[in-house]
């Protein structure tokens, strides 16, 4: 199997894997970064969202072989101390129920807020529409994104 | 009183204390059995053994309290709210409390289950008594040290004081307290004295969740663990004929391809499956690999021949069968008051409507998975399951191990919704590990999860009511279900006791599509049918729909009929609260309201949905909810449960469709199966009825009324009644985005 060097959370990581292995499984199985979740495997639920060069991307669709030149950030690397404004807002609003989808939600929200510092309610709802929360904590996700936006502006 | 080191447990409180070798005090107690007077004591109490108890409190020499929470956490918040109850009576500051998921030994666990919204309701007395008893022991120990009467001492925020102004922290008396007799009849606090219960306490796992720490079954890893993916029949009613693994074995990372099935089949054939769902008896093909991707890829590379085993069922057939069941006379009478047939024959008007629901998969965000390590000596199981005790007992039986040799560790669960009550994935993991004699994690893909589910049964309700002199005189409800029928208490919910002539009958069809509990079993759809029907009745009677419910409820107030499950008074208060908070009937133009109320899981809930029309399509803007669940232990967690339950109910009523053709499920993943998403969600506003009654369930009761409230609002806006789910199908539109 070929060897790949990835740049994840500010560190170079070397992995040996089949070329078509999705980043999701490299993170979870090879690098023990299990905060990125498996939900659907077809980019429909957003549980596996990471940042690639700052853009929210579904890691279940990114093959390891094409990631040699990019910066990857996972939930584990979003902040050093768990105190990214989005993480703080999630805590303040007490968003999670089961919690499984929330790292994907946080990664989507944090990339979105880098692009749009002062989003309207409609923009927040649109930005978060691709991430499913089966517990339906949507009201709180919406509120937390707003709180995070206030913290970041 | 003097210090002693024997019999330091209480039969009544089912509690035992011990000094810890490393410092501090450990209190073990058996939650849930603690309230039962006939609870059996562990036989050997000479040494405190973790196996004898299912919950613990550890108090360190520094006064820090660790509570080992015993119940499975599926997102319903018990890992936060149950320890809050202990901390309240223990009189410690919440900031000094650390909560840890208890490691389980199924041998000694009497009842550990998440389901039916019962954790808090059953735990309420036991948790309070445990906290209060422990506090009293600490106070007694301080009193002995000071040589004063314990009655003159007080405990607050982890500090004990006496009338002389002396102070001792809990940590300073733990060694002595652990050796004291356990006091009986401790005094519990009044609701007005609470300082932790009723506070907004953030989920105890919040930091781990927001930083992506391993918490869930899918995150669990063990030394030497392999990954397994299971190929099951594509259609219900099929079994394996043959397979070719040549290509699969060439996939990098695939170690082996095996079949399983014997162990479960023998278990079923021996008549031992006493659970309500049918276990698949076919052989299954299993790909064993060094990583998840290889296991999933290897499965796709398999080719298998499946043959019809029983029969291949289709939703179209189910539809006809259910209608036949409704029309037929072979129904079971579940409750009968008066004579509905006489009421119908004497009526001015008779109204009859039929409601239909599809099958529904659970779609927990964390797909089914489980870890098993079967060795010659023992079996170790780890993962997310709502019924750990039963799952472990089945594995022990299946593989021929003594139950003592089977241990099960629970992880946090990425949703349950009833799916994880069933341990089929635990048995598969155990059978695979048994075959390969290695530790293994079985992982379902989303497609596996959705197509080999244990679905909410497809159901039809036919409701018939008679009106005489402007009053509802008779009510006859028939249920026809694929799979089992409504559980025993449901026929005693509203409107039982409100209408003099009342009858509930059920009939079913036992097919080969596996069905089971789905969040708020049966009531998740029954409430929609019934509450839509009452809305239609109010229109027929030309009275306000809320007034109709309130009028009917007068008939059940003060009833001597002990079988009636709900309270007429509490339901009335809940309805009145939502009516006031939602400004019922006083909305601005273009806003249409729909009302629904339902009692389930011991909790009374009333909801008013508000919709507006956009390009002629209904957009749900807001849902106002009133809930009577007794004392609200953790308001933020409680509101979260209700908000989620309401949106879950709306999402499935509006969008969820699932069917079978020749045994094959219609949907495999979220590209075609529609779950509610952010832009479709209304704001949910939750109000609790304030009282001091014991807390009741919250994980489920918010859901059942939601579909009816929306359906009735749609009718208010469009004059169109909903008789089946999903509503988008009824509305003949696939895009109701706001």
**Is the Cβ pair A34, B219 closer than 8 Å?**
yes
Assess whether pLDDT exceeds 60 at residue B14.
no
- B668 neighbourhood in chain A, CB within 8 Å: none
* Residue B665, strand partner residues: B660
Residue B40: pLDDT band by 50, 70, 90 thresholds?
A: very low
- In the stretch 266-325 of chain B, residues with CB closer than 8 A to chain A read 291-294, 296-297
CB contact at 8 A, B561 and B497: yes
Model pLDDT, residue B507 = 97
Closest residue, chain A, to B685 (C-alpha):
A139
Convert the pLDDT of each residue in B515-571 to its tens digit. Answer: 999 999 999 999 999 999 999 999 999 999 999 999 999 999 999 999 999 999 999
- B679 neighbourhood in chain A, CB within 8 Å: 125-126, 129
Q: E strands, A1-153, where?
A: 3-8, 11-16, 49-52, 55-58, 71-73
**Is the Cβ pair A96, B291 closer than 8 Å?**
no
Convert the pLDDT of each residue in B609-643 to its tens digit. Answer: 999 999 989 999 999 999 999 999 999 999 999 99
Select the residue from B74, B301, B365 to test the A interface by mutation, using most A Cβ atoms within 10 A: B365
User: Which residues fall within 8 angstroms of residue B43, CB to CB, at 6 or more apart?
Assistant: none
Assess whether pLDDT exceeds 60 at residue B9.
no
Break chain A into its structural domains and give their ranges.
3-77, 85-152
DSSP summary character for residue B44: -
Among A33-37, B357-361, B511-515, the range scoring the smallest mean pLDDT is: B511-515
Q: DSSP assignment of B378-438, as one string?
A: -EEEEE--S-HHHHHHHHHHHHT--GGGEEEEE-B-S--TTGGGS-HHHHHHHHHHHHHTS
**Is the Cβ pair A42, B670 closer than 8 Å?**
yes
- Please tell me if residue B628 touches chain A, with a CB cutoff of 8 Å: no
CATH fold for domain A3-77: Ubiquitin-like (UB roll) (3.10.20)
CB contact at 8 A, B28 and B130: no
CB contact at 8 A, A124 and A110: no
Query: How far apart (Å, rounded) are the C-alpha atoms in residues A26 and A16?
Result: 9
Assess whether pLDDT exceeds 50 at residue B108.
no
Tokens of B422: 């069933």
Convert the pLDDT of each residue in B364-388 to its tens digit. Answer: 999 999 999 999 999 999 999 988 8
- Residue percentage of chain B with pLDDT more than 90: 77
User: Which residues fall within 8 angstroms of residue B589, CB to CB, at 6 or more apart?
Assistant: none
Assess whether pLDDT exceeds 90 at residue A107.
yes
Assess whether pLDDT exceeds 50 at residue A112.
yes
Report the 10 Å Cβ neighbour count for B4: 10
Query: How far apart (Å, rounded) are the C-alpha atoms in residues B673 and B667?
Result: 6
Q: DSSP assignment of A90-128, as one string?
A: HHHHT--SS-TTHHHHHHHHHHHHHH-SS--HHHHHHHT
Model pLDDT, residue B19 = 75
CA dihedral (B156, B158, B160, B166) positive or negative: negative
Convert the pLDDT of each residue in B431-481 to its tens digit. Answer: 999 999 999 999 999 999 999 999 999 999 999 999 999 999 999 999 999
Query: How far apart (Å, rounded) are the C-alpha atoms in residues A38 and A20?
Result: 17
Phi, psi of B512 (to 5 degrees): -110, 10
Model pLDDT, residue B27 = 78
Model pLDDT, residue B57 = 84
* Residue B26, strand partner residues: B18, B58
Assess whether pLDDT exceeds 70 at residue B49.
no
CB contact at 8 A, B260 and B431: yes
Q: Among residues B410, B376, B377, which one has the least CA distance to residue B392?
A: B410
CA distance A132 to chain B (A): 6
Select the residue from A98, A119, A124, A144 to test the B interface by mutation, using most B Cβ atoms within 10 A: A98
Among B396-400, B643-647, B732-736, the range scoring the smallest mean pLDDT is: B732-736
Query: How far apart (Å, rounded) are the C-alpha atoms in residues B416 and B132?
Result: 32
Query: How far apart (Å, rounded) are the C-alpha atoms in residues B55 and B111?
Result: 12
Model pLDDT, residue A124 = 98
Convert the pLDDT of each residue in B591-610 to its tens digit. Answer: 999 999 999 999 999 999 99
Among A11-20, B10-19, B667-676, B680-689, the range scoring the smallest mean pLDDT is: B10-19
- B644 neighbourhood in chain A, CB within 8 Å: 97, 135-137
Model pLDDT, residue B28 = 73
**Is the Cβ pair A82, B215 closer than 8 Å?**
no
Report the 10 Å Cβ neighbour count for B192: 6
Assess whether pLDDT exceeds 90 at residue B103.
no
- A139 neighbourhood in chain B, CB within 8 Å: 643, 647, 681, 683-684
Closest residue, chain A, to B417 (C-alpha):
A135
Query: How far apart (Å, rounded) are the C-alpha atoms in residues B665 and B449?
Result: 11
Assess whether pLDDT exceeds 90 at residue B72.
no
User: Which residues fall within 8 angstroms of residue B404, CB to CB, at 6 or more apart?
Assistant: B107
Model pLDDT, residue B10 = 46
Among A25-39, B31-45, B92-106, B159-173, the range scoring the smallest mean pLDDT is: B31-45
CB nearest to A103's CB, from B212, B253, B293: B212
Residue B123: pLDDT band by 50, 70, 90 thresholds?
A: confident
- Name the helix (H) or strand (E) containing B170: helix B170-177
What is the average pLDDT score of chain B? 90
**Is the Cβ pair B651, A76 closer than 8 Å?**
no
- Please tell me if residue B199 touches chain A, with a CB cutoff of 8 Å: no
Across the range A71-84, mean pLDDT stands at 97
Model pLDDT, residue B5 = 34
Model pLDDT, residue B35 = 35
Q: Starting from the edge strand earliest in sequence, which strands make up the sheet with B501-509, in order? A: B332-337, B501-509, B471-482, B459-468, B349-357
CB contact at 8 A, B441 and B371: yes
CB nearest to A129's CB, from B292, B647, B677: B677
Query: How far apart (Å, rounded) are the C-alpha atoms in residues B465 and B137?
Result: 60
CB contact at 8 A, A50 and A73: yes
CA distance A152 to chain B (A): 17
CA distance B637 to chain A (A): 8
Closest residue, chain A, to B448 (C-alpha):
A40
What ipTM does this complex have? 0.98
Model pLDDT, residue B38 = 35
Among A136-150, B74-88, B252-266, B445-459, the range scoring the smallest mean pLDDT is: B74-88
Query: How far apart (Å, rounded) are the C-alpha atoms in residues B304 and B653?
Result: 37
Q: DSSP assignment of B179-247, as one string?
A: TSPPPSSPPPPPGGG-SSTTS----TTHHHHHHT-S-BGGG---TT-EEEEEE--SSTTEEEEEEE-HH
CA distance A48 to chain B (A): 11
Model pLDDT, residue A150 = 97
Closest residue, chain B, to A94 (C-alpha):
B202
CB contact at 8 A, B15 and B178: no
- In the stretch 211-270 of chain B, residues with CB closer than 8 A to chain A read 211-216, 218-219, 221, 227, 252-253
Report the 10 Å Cβ neighbour count for A95: 29
Model pLDDT, residue B30 = 61
Model pLDDT, residue B53 = 54
Residue B71: pLDDT band by 50, 70, 90 thresholds?
A: low
Model pLDDT, residue B4 = 35
Domain spanning A85-152: which CATH class is it, in words?
A: mainly alpha
CA distances from B157 to B90, B93, B135, B162 (A): 9, 5, 11, 14
Across the range B703-722, mean pLDDT stands at 97
* Radius of gyration, CA atoms only, chain A: 15
CB nearest to A136's CB, from B214, B221, B676: B676
**Is the Cβ pair B221, A32 closer than 8 Å?**
yes
Model pLDDT, residue A86 = 98
Task: Give the Cα-Cα-Cα angle B457, B462, B468 (nearest 5 degrees).
Answer: 155
Convert the pLDDT of each residue in B293-307 to its tens digit. Answer: 999 999 999 999 999
Closest residue, chain B, to A122 (C-alpha):
B679
- A50 neighbourhood in chain B, CB within 8 Å: none
Model pLDDT, residue B3 = 36
Residue with tokens 């079978």: B660
* Radius of gyration, CA atoms only, chain B: 28
User: Which residues fall within 8 angstroms of residue B409, CB to CB, at 6 or more apart?
Assistant: B103, B104, B380, B381, B382, B383
């Amino acid at each position: 199997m070929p060897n790949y060097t990835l740049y994840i959370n500010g560190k170079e990581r070397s992995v040996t894997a089949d070329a078509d292995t999705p980043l999701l499984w490299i993170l979870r199985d090879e690098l023990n970064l299990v905060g990125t979740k498996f939900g659907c495997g077809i980019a429909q639920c957003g549980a596996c969202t990471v940042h690639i060069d700052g853009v929210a991307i579904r890691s279940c669709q990114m093959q390891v072989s094409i990631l040699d030149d990019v910066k990857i950030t996972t939930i584990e690397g979003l902040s050093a101390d768990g105190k990214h404004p989005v993480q703080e807002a999630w805590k303040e609003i007490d968003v999670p129920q089961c919690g499984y989808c929330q790292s994907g939600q946080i990664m989507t929200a944090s990339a979105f807020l880098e692009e749009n510092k002062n989003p309207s309610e409609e923009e927040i709802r649109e930005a978060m529409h691709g991430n499913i929360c089966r517990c339906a904590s949507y009201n709180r996700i919406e509120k937390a994104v707003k709180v995070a936006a206030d913290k970041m502006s | 009183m003097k210090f002693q080191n024997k019999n330091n447990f209480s039969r009544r409180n089912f509690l035992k204390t011990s000094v810890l070798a490393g410092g501090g005090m450990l209190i073990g107690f058996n939650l849930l059995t603690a309230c039962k007077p006939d609870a059996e004591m562990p036989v050997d109490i000479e040494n405190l053994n973790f196996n004898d108890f299912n919950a613990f409190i550890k108090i360190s020499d520094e006064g820090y309290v660790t509570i080992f929470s015993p119940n499975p956490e599926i997102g319903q918040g018990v890992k936060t709210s149950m320890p809050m109850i202990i901390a309240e009576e223990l009189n410690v500051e919440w900031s000094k409390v650390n909560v840890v998921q208890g490691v389980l030994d199924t041998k000694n666990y009497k009842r550990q289950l998440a389901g039916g919204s019962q954790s808090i309701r059953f735990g309420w007395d036991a948790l309070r008594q445990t906290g209060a008893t422990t506090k009293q022991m600490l106070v007694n120990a301080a009193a002995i040290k000071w040589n004063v009467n314990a009655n003159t001492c007080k405990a607050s925020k982890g500090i004990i004081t006496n009338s002389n102004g002396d102070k001792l922290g809990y940590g300073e008396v733990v060694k002595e307290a652990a050796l004291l007799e356990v006091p009986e009849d401790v005094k519990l606090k009044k609701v007005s004295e609470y300082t932790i219960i009723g506070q907004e306490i953030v989920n105890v796992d919040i930091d781990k969740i927001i930083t992506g720490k391993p918490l869930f079954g899918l995150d669990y890893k063990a030394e030497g663990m392999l990954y397994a993916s299971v190929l099951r029949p594509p259609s219900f009613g099929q079994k394996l004929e043959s397979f070719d693994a040549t290509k699969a074995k060439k996939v990098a990372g695939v170690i082996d391809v095996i079949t399983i099935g014997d162990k479960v089949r023998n278990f079923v054939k021996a008549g031992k499956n006493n659970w309500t769902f049918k276990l698949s008896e076919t052989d299954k093909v299993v790909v064993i690999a060094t990583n998840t991707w290889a296991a999933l890829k290897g499965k796709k590379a398999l080719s298998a021949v499946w043959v019809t085993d029983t029969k291949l069922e289709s939703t179209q057939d189910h539809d006809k069968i259910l209608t036949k069941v409704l029309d037929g006379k072979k129904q079971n009478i579940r409750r009968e008051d008066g004579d509905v047939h006489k009421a119908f024959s004497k009526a001015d008007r008779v109204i009859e409507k039929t409601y239909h629901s599809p099958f529904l998969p659970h779609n927990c965000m964390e797909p089914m998975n489980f870890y098993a390590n079967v060795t010659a000596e023992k079996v170790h199981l780890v993962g997310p399951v709502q019924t750990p005790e039963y799952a472990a007992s089945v594995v022990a039986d299946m593989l021929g191990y003594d139950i003592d040799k089977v241990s099960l560790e629970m992880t946090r669960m990425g949703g349950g919704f009833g799916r994880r009550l069933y341990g089929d994935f635990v048995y598969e993991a155990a059978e695979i590990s048994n075959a390969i004699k290695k530790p293994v994690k079985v992982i379902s893909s989303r497609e596996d999860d959705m197509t080999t589910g244990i679905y909410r049964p497809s159901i039809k309700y036919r409701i018939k009511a008679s009106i005489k002199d402007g009053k509802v005189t008779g009510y006859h409800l028939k249920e026809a279900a694929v799979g089992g029928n409504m559980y025993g208490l449901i026929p005693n919910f509203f409107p039982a006791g409100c209408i003099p002539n009342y009858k509930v009958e059920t009939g079913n069809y036992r097919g080969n599509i596996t069905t089971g509990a789905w969040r708020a079993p049966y009531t998740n759809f029954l409430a929609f049918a019934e509450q839509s029907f009452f809305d239609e009745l109010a229109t027929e009677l030309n009275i306000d729909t809320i007034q109709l419910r309130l009028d009917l409820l007068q008939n059940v107030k003060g009833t001597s009929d002990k079988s009636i499950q709900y309270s007429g008074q509490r339901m009335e208060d809940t309805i009145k609260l939502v009516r006031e908070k939602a400004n019922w009937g006083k909305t601005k133009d273009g806003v249409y309201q729909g009302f629904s109320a339902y009692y389930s899981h011991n909790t009374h809930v009333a909801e008013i949905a508000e919709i507006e029309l956009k390009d002629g399509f209904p957009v749900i803007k807001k849902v106002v909810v009133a809930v009577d669940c007794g004392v609200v232990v953790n308001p933020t967690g409680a509101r979260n449960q209700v908000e989620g339950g309401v949106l879950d109910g709306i999402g499935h009523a509006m969008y969820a469709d699932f069917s079978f053709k020749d045994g094959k499920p219609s949907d495999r993943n979220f590209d075609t199966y529609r779950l509610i998403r952010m832009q479709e969600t209304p704001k949910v506003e939750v109000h609790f009825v304030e009282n001091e009654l014991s807390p009741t369930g919250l994980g489920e009761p918010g859901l059942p009324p939601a579909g009816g409230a929306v359906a009735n609002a749609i009718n208010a806006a469009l004059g169109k009644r909903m008789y089946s789910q999903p509503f988008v199908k009824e509305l003949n539109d696939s895009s109701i985005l706001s």
